[in-house]
A and B are shown apart, each in its own frame.
Chain A
């Protein structure tokens, strides 16, 4: 595609990054106004992978619509399903068996680990270090294998259904998760040796892409990106769901507000996730894995909202029901969408090369933004 280079009246150059650019990890199109090499303005142009999931859900039943949400933030697909299932359960007042809740939390945290590992590898790759990607995938592969055995899919896990989980755990599940924890704990030091302590990496991320706490609130930034600015926003702690209120874990906060702080939040969060899994893996209660529900689900008339913490931040599911078998209107408040809106503010005044560092630590997943 040939496109003429545009200039603004003041002589600044306008260039396109994407929609097919490796560092955007998807089809994100950024219109960047450059003065020399300094970014003056950034205008995200999204919608290249917009599938209108919200409209699609209006014609799908309460059992079916959950599966479309795995395709939003495909790295947190399990948490997306969990949020939808919680919304339907809230509407129908279903009590979920304890076993199902514990399984959901374990799988959620495994998904978070897998997501953060992919982020770590790809972010280092964006900044020019190719080998961390292979280190990250070595451990991530163990999680995807566990997922494959548990629910039959490696990426779009459709394991959570209203009332519980789709099927019971396979007999090897605990053994395999424990093997993963041993492997992960012995290798996390390598992650820090490879990237965290690297002086080139630190120079490229420290003091880059500053986001103050006030701006994080105003832009609606959530998840690790906001916790790097010292904003306490972990839904698992603030508005606990499933069994999170019974678990011992810390909300990771950093106060610097730069790219390196956001990086450190995710690195430390991985260790918290491992600790959550360790608390639960030997204590999975016996019993049913799914509550008894009717074949056709009908939500009462009303509105239901669920907030959940995915790997990227706060996912909200707003469901309006008219009493039928399909949602009347559904809105997904996706974390990536709000995080992206702060990008222009964070990148202004920085050099073009810093863009990948800032985008990398925002951890954008484009299908999550476009929906």
Chain B
């Protein structure tokens, strides 16, 4: 009954993966759990997004999720992009340095990135370069530390189960 992966989805993913691999031979593309994934270098982000956003064959115009994962040794920024025209989706992953995490902001391409990046900055401490208004969003301005990091300690407010 509940199809874990619909056949049309697989075909679509394979075709998308093919076109990505031909266009970006240097990037590591693979099929993830749901959609094709591209592992990129943080410095290539803007050139890649420029192509994915405006090239007619992809038109990834909808950034539906942007988040970050703390892997203790490094951070991974994860971008979920979708196209309202072709209805396909792709996942971008950029590895960031743990000591000084920095990456270019996507506000110029997607306006939703404004608040999403402020949230990631607030809770993970990733610095977004060229973000127009990078300040804390959910927590107060004088909060110390970044709560979603794995090494964050708060003896008063944290509940351990």
Query: What residues of B have a CB within 8 angstroms of the CB of A340 in the complex?
Result: 115
Quick check: A220 and B161 within 8 Å, CB to CB?
A: no
A333-B64, A370-B138 as given contacts; A231 in contact with B112, CB under 8 Å? no
Q: Say whether A176 faces chain B, with CB atoms less than 8 Å apart.
A: no
Q: Say whether B147 faces chain A, with CB atoms less than 8 Å apart.
A: yes
Which of A129-137, A211-219, A353-361 lies at the binding interface? A211-219
Question: Which interface class (under 10, 10 to 19, 20 to 34, 35 or more) fits B?
Answer: 35 or more
In whole angstroms, how far apart are the Cα atoms of A122 and B61 in the complex? Answer: 34
User: Does more than half of chain A's interface fall in helix, strand or loop, or is it mixed?
Assistant: mixed
Q: Say whether B145 faces chain A, with CB atoms less than 8 Å apart.
A: no
In whole angstroms, how far apart are the Cα atoms of A215 and B63 in the complex? Answer: 12
Query: What residues of B have a CB within 8 angstroms of the CB of A241 in the complex?
Result: 2
Quick check: B112 and A50 within 8 Å, CB to CB?
A: no
Cβ 8 A contact of A218, one of B2, B87, B111, B137: B111
Q: Which residue of A lies closest to B158 (CB)?
A: A55
Q: Say whether A304 faces chain B, with CB atoms less than 8 Å apart.
A: yes
Quick check: B64 and A220 within 8 Å, CB to CB?
A: yes
Quick check: B64 and A314 within 8 Å, CB to CB?
A: yes
0 or 1 for each of B68-84: is its CB under 8 Å from A? (1 = yes): 01100000001010001
Quick check: B62 and A305 within 8 Å, CB to CB?
A: no
0 or 1 for each of B1-25: is its CB under 8 Å from A? (1 = yes): 1101000000000000000000000
Q: How far is the CB of A305 from chain B (nearest CB, A)?
A: 5
Quick check: B33 and A302 within 8 Å, CB to CB?
A: yes
Query: What residues of A have a CB within 8 angstroms of the CB of B65 in the complex?
Result: 305, 316, 318, 331, 333
Query: What residues of B have a CB within 8 angstroms of the CB of A95 in the complex?
Result: 1-2
Quick check: A220 and B112 within 8 Å, CB to CB?
A: yes
Q: Say whether B148 faces chain A, with CB atoms less than 8 Å apart.
A: yes
With an 8 Å Cβ cutoff, the count of chain A residues facing the other chain is 49
Query: What residues of A have a CB within 8 angstroms of the CB of B1 in the complex?
Result: 95-98, 101, 243
Q: How far is the CB of A90 from chain B (nearest CB, A)?
A: 6
Quick check: B87 and A215 within 8 Å, CB to CB?
A: no
Q: Say whether B110 faces chain A, with CB atoms less than 8 Å apart.
A: yes
Cβ 8 A contact of B84, one of A47, A231, A302: A231
Most chain A CB neighbours (cut-off 10 Å) among B62, B80, B87, B147:
B62
Q: How far is the CB of B115 from chain A (nearest CB, A)?
A: 4
Cβ 8 A contact of B112, one of A96, A328, A338: A338
Q: Say whether A184 faces chain B, with CB atoms less than 8 Å apart.
A: no
Q: List 8 A-B contacts (CB under 8 A).
A: A59-B161, A98-B1, A217-B61, A217-B84, A220-B110, A307-B64, A316-B64, A318-B80
The chain A residues found within 8 Å of chain B, CB to CB, are 46-47, 50, 52, 54-56, 59-60, 89-90, 93, 95-98, 101, 215, 217-220, 231-233, 238, 241-243, 302-305, 307, 314, 316, 318, 320, 328-329, 331, 333, 337-338, 340-342, 345, 370
